[in-house]
A and B are shown apart, each in its own frame.
Chain A
Amino acid sequence: MKFIDEYRDGEAARKLTDAIHRITTGNWTLMEVCGGQTHAIVKFGIDELLPDGVELVHGPGCPVCVTPLELIDKAIAIAARPEVIFCSFGDMLRVPGSEKDLFMVKAAGGDVRIVYSPLDAVRIARENPDREVVFFAVGFETTAPANAMAVWQAKQLGITNFSILVSHVLVPPAIEAILSSPQNRVQAFLAAGHVCTIMGYTEYEPLAKKYKVPIVVTGFEPVDILQGVYMCVKQLEEGRCEVENQYARSVRKEGNVPARTRIEEVFRIVPRKWRGVGEIAESGLGLTDEYAEYDAEQKFNVAEYTAEEPEECIAGLVLQGIKKPAECPAFATKCTPEHPFGATMVSNEGACAAYYRYRRDSIGEGRSASAGGKSYE
């Protein structure tokens, strides 16, 4: 398949791996921001091919994982209402709230539907004027244009029985939060290619300068990731700290301007709580006043919900790259994809789920050796 096969080519991967080995002299810690990259790294075994001096830690870029617990509880409360048709992307349905997940709401009679686009939810609202249709609008900058478009379209069409439960988050503030933490050990970033396809990468230039870190906009296939790692290591070895674009076949410096325009029209920047991490200033998107009538939190009066994370779960530390999944005592014992403590074990793109799925044998053997060794706690 074009644009896939050449980026999963064993020979190309081997050449890049050799090149990384050749240039690496120091010890470097790199973070891939996006959960899609984490998944590809573990699935294809990319980290196993790297020299000992290059460590990949996994970042906060899984939208399912960073959606705060209380927002899941809000979704569950709204979805359980008899007048509501609750629409969501599939992978949010399995995320546990404080007591249950959306699948359980569906089993108990709630009208919960999996859709493939927020515009499908707008169509459902048109077709069901006597019901309230709510779309669960989570994600990074990648999904923001489609969600903005849905709200914009609903307003154009005069649809009043449609609203969105918003938990949009932004990548650059999360990178800054990681870099400014005293526990930080990340020396370079693979920035998320799809986020930059929308937003461009000018936002990352001040970060690279201020914190003196290389940032390489990187794609999602094995060869992309290896090339991104190579470009990061090369900068680190040469003492440079620039923003570079590995994913040029998709990303332009200014991003996708019409998509950004629609986002800016519908959303404004707000503080946002990240699951396991806490509140980060200016790190999310919320609806502007002009679109406030489409805010499901207001419509269904759930804005005041609060929830506590399970104490044992170290998902917050995993999401910040401070710990790896194997360092959690509950990993693969008390916490499994069937009984997840935290969202990193639920989502396909969550670091804990990826390690559980592809690595748990080697982790079982190596747990005592690695536990605590590389963390700051």
Chain B
Amino acid sequence: MSEQATMAAACPIPISQYPQVMLAHGGGGKLMHQLIEQMFVPAFRNPLLASRHDGAVFRVAEGKMAFTTDSYVVKPLFFPGGDIGSLAVNGTVNDLAMCGARPLYLSAGFILEEGFEMETLWRIVNSMKNAASDAGVLLATGDTKVVDKGKGDGIFINTAGVGVIADGVEIGPERVSPGDAVILSGDLGRHGIAIMAAREGLEFETTLESDCAPLADLVLKLIDEGIRVNCLRDLTRGGLASALIEIAEASDHGIRISEREIKVKEDVRGACEILGFDPMYLANEGRFVAFVDKRDADRALELIRSDPAGEGASIIGNVASDANARVVMESRIGADRIVDMFSGEQLPRIC
């Protein structure tokens, strides 16, 4: 099959035969072979995958590596600004970036439900291909399983990733020190609301898109420019509140932030007002907080703002010198309150 044919928008699996995923597509036989050869290998084309080995074999540099994994279950599979495929690549790429690592290789494990549309799978695989190419990573190894109809939710994806950390880069909660500036890379809550708006049952019109984006380039730019970055954390489920609380507890330092400095888009705020949600706890997929030595704070902010993924960045607070490892926020009207973790997920309120 020619390069052009495989990369066309149309699904390469002969859909006249198999418009949907069959149990046999995960069975190790001819159909599974066909799925790998005609869908995954051409999409993710690279020498490691082409070797058809049991695993990817690659050279490593001296020094430190970062290794992470995440599983992606999302409903709906496609939402404004992204889909499960781009999420599965960017999420893992971003976790590596938060370790200060340059992401290199990803693995992808697909758990497909019998009857899942082949065409839909193809769209997701294509989206992963594009996201991987944008982030500069190779999908080096993979796996496919098919479960009985009714035993899955269409598709689950697991990705794991490895990246290399440059010499001298030390990033982690234990590095956080009193006085560090806390920089937030943009507005909050777009992913959470975009998903909710696209979900069946919540019918409000919005042009809002998920903030789903790879963050590695931006983070590496900070490191390359010599910014003293002490800690990084991407804001996913649990939002800004959970990320800051985790870092406060792990570093044993209090964090003070100002509500006025935290940006939330008008659409997100509107949806939050209606549903009774707090943007501090909404999910994001393209935002992070950086704890930076205060001497480098202004320069770091400028660098982050110069990147499309960080245009809306602001310094939202700093690390306090008191011993109490709590996150305290100054409200808009000037009073202090504790920022606490939610015990479960945020639930739409009654009135």
Contact = CB atoms under 8 A, between A and B. Distances in A.
A138 B269 contact: no
A116 B338 contact: no
B167 to A, nearest CB: 41
A91 B348 contact: yes
A10 interface: yes
Nearest to A47: B335
A240 interface: no
B344 A143 contact: no
Given A222-B333, A360-B338, A94 B344 contact: yes
Nearest to B333: A13
Contacts of A14: 333-334
Contact of B350 (A42, A63, A336, A338): A63
Nearest to A45: B335
Interface in A119-166: 120, 138-140, 142-143
B343 to A, nearest CB: 4
Interface in A53-99: 63-64, 89-94
A8 B332 contact: yes
Interface in A312-370: 336-338, 348-349, 356-361
Contacts of B351: 36, 63, 139-140, 142-143, 194
A4 interface: yes
Given A44-B331, A222-B332, A91 B347 contact: yes
Given A1-B270, A348-B276, A89 B350 contact: yes
A311 interface: no
B46 interface: no
Contacts of B332: 8-10, 44, 222
B337 interface: yes
- What secondary structure prevails in chain B residues at the interface with A? loop
B148 interface: no
Nearest to A123: B201
Contacts of B349: 89-91, 348-349
B340 interface: yes
B269 A45 contact: no
A338 B343 contact: yes
Given A120-B201, A356-B340, A89 B335 contact: no
Interface residues of B, number: 27
Interface in B255-286: 260, 266, 269-270, 273, 275-276
- What secondary structure prevails in chain A residues at the interface with B? helix
B320 to A, nearest CB: 13
Interface centre among B326, B338, B347 (most CB of A within 10 A): B347
Contacts of B337: 42-45, 358-359
B326 A361 contact: yes
A123 B201 CA distance: 10
Given A89-B350, A116-B202, A143-B351, A4 B273 contact: yes
A1 B202 CA distance: 21
A116 B275 CA distance: 8
Contacts, number: 100
A276 B331 CA distance: 32
A358 B333 contact: no
B333 A49 contact: yes
Contacts of A357: 338, 340
Nearest to B204: A116
A64 B201 CA distance: 22
Contacts of A270: none
A304 interface: no
A48 interface: yes
Interface string A16-46: 0000000000000000000010000011111
B133 interface: no
B336 interface: yes
Contact of A13 (B202, B270, B334, B348): B334
Nearest to A16: B333
B324 interface: yes
A115 B348 CA distance: 9
A116 B334 contact: no
Contacts of B333: 8-10, 13-14, 44-46, 49, 222
A49 B337 CA distance: 13
B33 to A, nearest CB: 38
A261 to B, nearest CB: 20
B350 A143 contact: yes
Interface centre among B201, B326, B349, B350 (most CB of A within 10 A): B350
A177 interface: no
Contacts of A269: none
B348 A361 contact: no
A302 interface: no
Interface in A270-309: none
Nearest to A93: B347
Interface string B306-349: 00000000000000000010100001111111101001100111
A143 B202 CA distance: 17
Contacts of B347: 89-91, 93-94, 114, 348
Interface of B: 201-202, 260, 266, 269-270, 273, 275-276, 324, 326, 331-338, 340, 343-344, 347-351
7 contacts: A1-B266, A9-B333, A43-B337, A45-B336, A140-B351, A142-B351, A348-B349
Nearest 10 Cβ contacts at the A-B interface: A45-B335, A90-B347, A13-B333, A358-B337, A90-B348, A337-B343, A142-B351, A89-B350, A44-B331, A357-B340
Given A14-B334, A44-B333, 12 more contacts: A1-B266, A44-B337, A45-B334, A63-B351, A91-B276, A91-B350, A114-B348, A116-B348, A336-B343, A348-B349, A357-B338, A361-B338
